[in-house]
């Protein structure tokens, strides 16, 4: 099923006239997931035509303001809609005090069934519908986690092979149950009428210095959303403040077998992000510098991204 990533903001610490604080609205396998709602995330959703009350999971990488100051507005909007489904909040456990403050910083009626997932170690956090959520600690100035969403692959029946073997309806269930079935052509096992589908992986890598966990997060991902605050010309600054350059993100992606790379979280010093895209494409051609109000869609069968502008421009 198609993965849809909507970019609502692409700035790092300081928003600019053209770039909001980061916020990323992901729809995949019937799930609606908001990543790192920076300041203004609610209004960015409205402009983009994305429903805030449809959000059921919010992932926060760390509690620097550009990754979480939009949370109060988002939660209060969902509460106002009286959403009955559970709302998952996933965040670094070490930032619990900041989460508590963000959820109680203004008066509002909160009928929500919020499920808390404080993260304090690497590995699987929870299941989100058919998706498996994993976390890996990143190297930043405050406790920070990157996230990896995995849609498990496995074996799928091949309709053509089933038909040519004369297996239909209840016979398919029998084959599944018994592990083999006798047909007029002889014995058929599941291996003979199925094909392998690999895992489909989306990774979100927020603020981090060069760190081997980035490889684990990116490994064989179909789509990676990664910070690239600086260009190589500011490599020393990137190192000092625990961030990546565009070329470093591209280098990691190519070494990790990534199919598509989208960069975000740009320093306000770059008026035009074309320079960032130019730098990363030299290392990794299937890479883009995201723009606010851009939608990237990925279909596993297709491999490449579809890119379109959304919202009122
Ligand atoms: Zn940041
Ligand atoms: Zn940060």
Give the CATH number, domain containing residue 7: 3.60.15.10
Indicate the residue among 144, 168, 192 that finishes a domain.
192
Q: How confident is the model at residue 226 (pLDDT cuts 50, 70, 90)?
A: very high
Residues 104-129 have a mean pLDDT of: 97
Task: Please tell me whether residues 166 and 279 are part of one structural domain.
Answer: no
Task: Please tell me whether residues 144 and 43 are part of one structural domain.
Answer: yes
Task: Please tell me whether residues 122 and 165 are part of one structural domain.
Answer: no
Ligand 2 centre to CA of 248 (Å) is 17
| Residue-averaged pLDDT of the chain | 95
Residues 23-44 have a mean pLDDT of: 98
Task: Please tell me whether residues 52 and 166 are part of one structural domain.
Answer: no
The pLDDT of residue 313 is 57
Tokens 């989100």 belong to 128
Domain, as residue range, for 168: 157-192
Closest ligand (CA of 36)? 1
Task: Please tell me whether residues 162 and 65 are part of one structural domain.
Answer: no
Task: Write the DSSP assignment of the chain as a string of letters.
Answer: --EEEEEEE-BSSS--SS-PBPEEEEEETTEEEEE---TTHHHHHHHHT--GGG--EEE----SGGGTTTHHHHHHHHHHTT--S-EEEEEEGGGHHHHHHHHTSS-------EEEEEE-SSEEEEEETTEEEEEEE--SSS--EEEEEEE--EEEE-HHHHHHTT--THHHHHHHHHS-EEETTEEE-GGGGEEEE--EEEEEE-S--S-HHHHHHHTT-SEEEEE--B-GGGHHHHHHTT--BHHHHHHHHHHTT-SEEEEE-B-TT-S-THHHHHHHHHH-SSEEE--TTEEEEE-TTT-SEEEEE-S--
Task: Please tell me whether residues 212 and 180 are part of one structural domain.
Answer: no
Reading the block at residue 56, the tokens are 């059921």
CB contact at 8 A, 313 and 292: no
C-beta neighbour count of 121 within 10 angstroms: 10
Do the strands 186-188 and 181-183 form a parallel or antiparallel pair, or are they unpaired?
A: antiparallel
Task: Please tell me whether residues 300 and 172 are part of one structural domain.
Answer: no
- The 10s digit of each residue's pLDDT in 273-309 is 999 999 999 999 999 999 999 999 998 777 789 999 9
Ligand 1 centre to CA of 38 (Å) is 9
* Rounded Cα–Cα distance for residues 69 and 10 (Å): 14
Indicate the residue among 133, 167, 192 that finishes a domain.
192
Task: Please tell me whether residues 102 and 234 are part of one structural domain.
Answer: yes
Closest ligand (CA of 227)? 1
Per the model's pLDDT, the better-predicted residue between 164 and 242 turns out to be 242
Ligand 1 centre to CA of 275 (Å) is 20
Task: Please tell me whether residues 164 and 297 are part of one structural domain.
Answer: no
Of 132-136, 182-186, 224-228, 243-247, which gets the smallest average pLDDT?
Answer: 182-186
Ligand 2 centre to CA of 186 (Å) is 62
CB contact at 8 A, 166 and 189: no
Task: Please tell me whether residues 181 and 69 are part of one structural domain.
Answer: no
The domain total for the chain is 2
- The 10s digit of each residue's pLDDT in 47-63 is 999 999 999 999 999 99
The catalytic residue positions are 66
Closest ligand (CA of 229)? 1
Residues 225-241 have a mean pLDDT of: 97
Indicate the residue among 192, 215, 242 that finishes a domain.
192
Ligand 2 centre to CA of 86 (Å) is 28
Task: Please tell me whether residues 275 and 147 are part of one structural domain.
Answer: yes
CB contact at 8 A, 1 and 31: no
**Could you tell me which residues are beta bridge partners of residue 156?**
195
Task: Please tell me whether residues 45 and 109 are part of one structural domain.
Answer: yes
């Amino acid at each position: 099923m198609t993965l849809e990533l909507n970019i609502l903001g692409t700035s790092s610490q300081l928003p600019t006239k053209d770039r909001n604080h980061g916020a990323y609205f992901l729809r995949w396998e019937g799930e609606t997931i908001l990543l790192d709602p920076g300041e203004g995330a609610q209004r960015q959703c409205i402009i983009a035509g994305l429903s805030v009350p449809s959000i059921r999971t919010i992932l926060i990488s760390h509690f620097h303001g550009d990754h979480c100051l939009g949370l109060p507005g988002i939660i209060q909007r969902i509460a106002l809609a009286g959403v009955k489904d559970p709302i998952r909040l996933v965040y670094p456990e070490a930032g619990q005090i900041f989460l508590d403050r963000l959820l109680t910083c203004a008066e509002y009626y909160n009928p929500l069934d919020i499920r808390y997932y404080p993260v304090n170690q690497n590995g699987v956090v929870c299941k989100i519908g058919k998706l498996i959520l994993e976390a890996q600690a990143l190297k930043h100035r405050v406790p920070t986690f990157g996230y990896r969403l995995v849609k498990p692959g496995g074996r799928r029946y091949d309709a053509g092979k089933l038909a040519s073997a004369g297996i239909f309806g209840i016979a398919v269930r029998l084959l599944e149950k018994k592990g083999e079935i006798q047909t007029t052509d002889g014995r058929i096992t599941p291996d003979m009428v199925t094909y392998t589908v690999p895992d489909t992986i989306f990774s979100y890598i927020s603020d981090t210095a060069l760190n081997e966990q980035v490889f684990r997060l990116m490994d064989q991902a179909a789509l990676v959303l990664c910070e690239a605050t600086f260009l190589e010309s500011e490599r020393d600054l990137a190192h000092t403040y625990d961030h990546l350059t565009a070329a470093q993100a591209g280098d990691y992606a190519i070494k990790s077998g990534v199919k598509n790379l989208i960069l975000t979280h740009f320093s306000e010093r770059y008026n035009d992000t074309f320079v960032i895209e130019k730098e990363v494409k030299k290392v990794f051609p299937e890479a883009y510098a995201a723009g606010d109000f851009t939608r990237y869609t990925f279909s596993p069968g297709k491999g490449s991204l579809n890119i379109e502008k959304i919202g009122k421009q």
